A and B are shown apart, each in its own frame.
Chain A
Amino acid sequence: MKIALLGNPNTGKSSVFNLLTGLRQHVGNFPGVTVEKKTGTLKINDENHTIIDFPGTYSVYPHSEDEQVVYTVLSDPSHADYPDVCVVVLDASNLRRNLFLFSQIYDLGMPVVMVLNMIDIADKQQLNISTEALQQQFPDAVIVASNARVKLGKDRILEAIVSAKKTENRALFLEEATMVAIDDKAMQEQEAEKRFAKIDALIPLAVTQKPENKTEESKSTKLDRILTHPVFGYLIFAGILLLIFQFIFSFASVPMDFIDEQFGNLADWTSQVLPEGIFNDLLTQGIIPGIGGVVIFVPQIAILFFFLAVLEETGYMARVVFIMDRLMRPFGLNGKSVVPLMSGVACAIPGVMAARTISDWKERMITIFVTPLMSCSARIPVYTLLIALVIPEEKVLGLNVQGLVLFGLYALGIVAALGVAALMKLFIRSRNKGYLLLEMPAYKAPRWGNVGITVFEKVKLFVVNAGKIILAISIILWALASYGPGNRMEDAVVAAEQYGEENNLDEEELADRIAGAQLENSYIGIMGKTIEPVISPLGYDWKMGVSLITSFAAREVFVGSLATIYSVHDDGAENKPLRKKLLKEKRADGTPVYTLATGVSLMVFYVFAMQCMATMAVVKRETGSWKWTFMQLGFFGILAYLGAFISFQLLS
């Protein structure tokens, strides 16, 4: 049996879904569109049934791509996802608006279950709901009450699903109702007026309200006045941001160091256990570090989405959108752009996907376009290495200069994102004016089960999306670094060995020297030398060129590549040997390579450049167009090149 789960946003629909399916669910896409499709399995009397959680809608007639899915499926009985039973979740404390969608679905004639959810909130608001009155109006519906947030009502809903029957000649709620054409707005509006007229007649029979009901509402409104206050509202939001970033940047480093170490150990162990050879190299230099490079970001992404899920669950996020909308609008963005941009600080991939909630096309495109300009966690290792290298450990006005520079890089990313957004606002012609219609849900304590599932899903999304691409590129880059044309690499090794003998290098120094010589003569070394003329105005040599190319797997690969090129052991966290070596590095004319100018130029390059294939793949999927993807690559590339060029020329 196929079951469709439908309902307005903020009705606790996903709580009901989680209640019915537990963890037996998986997330995919509806065919042909980027709309999330959550499918779960539920068991009734030892029989498995499929349940699909549809996007929350206020009507069967769509206004966005998300909502389109509901119409497409329900209007076409031959559709693969066409349900045998519809379960419609209603917010019991807000029946008037919720009955609109329910009555539309009821009038489609299929078996239907009405789940009166959040019955506790209705109770608190002193609302008395008469199921008899509702049953009288909807005789063929099975009506159950539930409070999914405290796991109440699962058995009742399951029973209701079994007992829901298709009825011939159903007495429709709105007599002449038929599903009208998707673009017949006039008919839809007429229907809406008529439907609400009938609902308004029903409500006094179904809902009785004790006179003191206003207190609960004003409590929520009072809290809203503080959280949306011109001063306190922003201060509270800034405080929450600070707390989140404190967790992402400081506390996440513990599990991250642990992961780094474990993958290092695994690679060492594997290389010793397996016989030497190409398979060993592929595994220990390509695949294991490649997977490690993905897993290392999991703690930060998990922490960020934990907080975002909590803010969403409590209803606070709607208030953030509310106070940020006016500030974002001059930049062609929407209050809802805040979530993608915040996510972008951990990783652009979930950020770009979070832009789905923005219903306006133009505002959504701009948000997707600028999100990768937020400095993501993969840039941190690059920033920290370069800052330690070229920025003196001094204090100015009591502030740590290195810290200021790091802050400046983040600020530069944010300013660039807003600037590019404002620019795009001028150039993108929109089909319609942007709008923001947003329900402010009642404040609730978060359900930790829902938070956990969200975090798990986001992490999975990242690992799957970024994982396969980062892994694939890691393998390609490994191959490019391990092979060279003809005998070039072999000859270089011989030369390095000779040098080692003449200069009495110890075993480790010799091994590092050989690795460096091999890389220089590999395909990727040759690529680095080929682009050298292009990047030398930025202050870069071919070695940095190689590292720039390898950064396309993931930006943090930059550090490891430099370590290999400069023939030093990458000791992970501190990079001390690498830093020493880099500082000693001289140009042909004897001047040091890693000056303030080069370092800043590199950092600026990393702020702007679109060096992440995984993000590009997600942008392509979310926008459905290569045009946007390549515009992003090209535009950010130009920005990075110009920014780095200007910084280098100014500082040298």
Chain B
Amino acid sequence: MGSSVKLTQAEKGVDVKIQSIDGDELRSKLLELGLTSGSTLRILYTAPFGDPIAVDVEGFVLSLRKSEADLIRVIA
């Protein structure tokens, strides 16, 4: 078990597990998209300038801004 980092600090192409999500309005929206704690994420690719990023969420591709990804803490 690695230590918890922000999703933006996770390595590209590597499966990570969600530990927690900060933030208010966005938190419930992310939860409803299936980003519950323990679910698996994988950074697929980033847009030019490194923002936004595209993430695989248990089988579908979600794009989100870096500022949004910063709210997600993951365990590598």
8 Å CB interface, B1-31 against A: 24-31
Kindly list chain A residues whose C-beta atoms are within 8 Å of the C-beta of B51. 325-326
Per-residue interface assignment for chain A, residues 179 to 206, with 1 indicating a CB less than 8 Å from any chain B CB and 0 otherwise: 0000001001100110011001000000
> Which of A58-66, A150-158, A292-300, A372-380 lies at the interface?
A58-66
B47 to chain A, nearest CB (A): 5
Q: Is the interface of A mostly helix, strand, loop or mixed?
A: helix
- Chain A interface bracket (under 10, 10 to 19, 20 to 34, 35 or more): 35 or more
Kindly list chain A residues whose C-beta atoms are within 8 Å of the C-beta of B28. 61, 63, 185, 188-189, 192
A446 interface residue per 8 A CB criterion = no
Kindly list chain A residues whose C-beta atoms are within 8 Å of the C-beta of B39. 196, 200
Q: What's the Cα separation between A435 and B30 when bound, in Å?
A: 12
A435 to chain B, nearest CB (A): 6
Kindly list chain A residues whose C-beta atoms are within 8 Å of the C-beta of B29. 58, 63, 437
Q: What's the Cα separation between A335 and B65 when bound, in Å?
A: 11
Q: What's the Cα separation between A93 and B60 when bound, in Å?
A: 9
Contact of B25 among A217, A432, A438 (CB under 8 A): A432
- Asked if A440 contacts B61 (CB within 8 A), the reply is yes
- Asked if B45 contacts A228 (CB within 8 A), the reply is yes
Contact of A440 among B26, B27, B63, B67 (CB under 8 A): B63
Q: What's the Cα separation between A536 and B29 when bound, in Å?
A: 56
Per-residue interface assignment for chain B, residues 41 to 53, with 1 indicating a CB less than 8 Å from any chain A CB and 0 otherwise: 0001101110110
A315 to chain B, nearest CB (A): 10
A433 interface residue per 8 A CB criterion = yes
Contact of A230 among B25, B31, B48, B62 (CB under 8 A): B48
Kindly list chain A residues whose C-beta atoms are within 8 Å of the C-beta of B27. 185, 189
Pairs A-B, 4 closest by C-beta atoms: A230-B48, A440-B61, A59-B32, A192-B31
Interface set of B (CB-CB < 8 Å, partner A): 24-34, 36-37, 39, 44-45, 47-49, 51-52, 54, 56-65, 67-68
Interface set of A (CB-CB < 8 Å, partner B): 58-59, 61, 63, 93-94, 96-97, 100, 185, 188-189, 192-193, 196-197, 200, 217, 220-221, 224-225, 228-230, 233-234, 318, 321-323, 325-327, 335, 432-433, 435-440
25 contacts between A and B (CB under 8 A): A58-B32, A97-B59, A97-B60, A100-B32, A185-B28, A188-B28, A192-B32, A200-B39, A221-B44, A221-B61, A224-B45, A224-B54, A224-B61, A322-B63, A325-B51, A326-B49, A327-B49, A432-B25, A435-B65, A436-B68, A437-B30, A437-B62, A439-B61, A439-B63, A440-B62
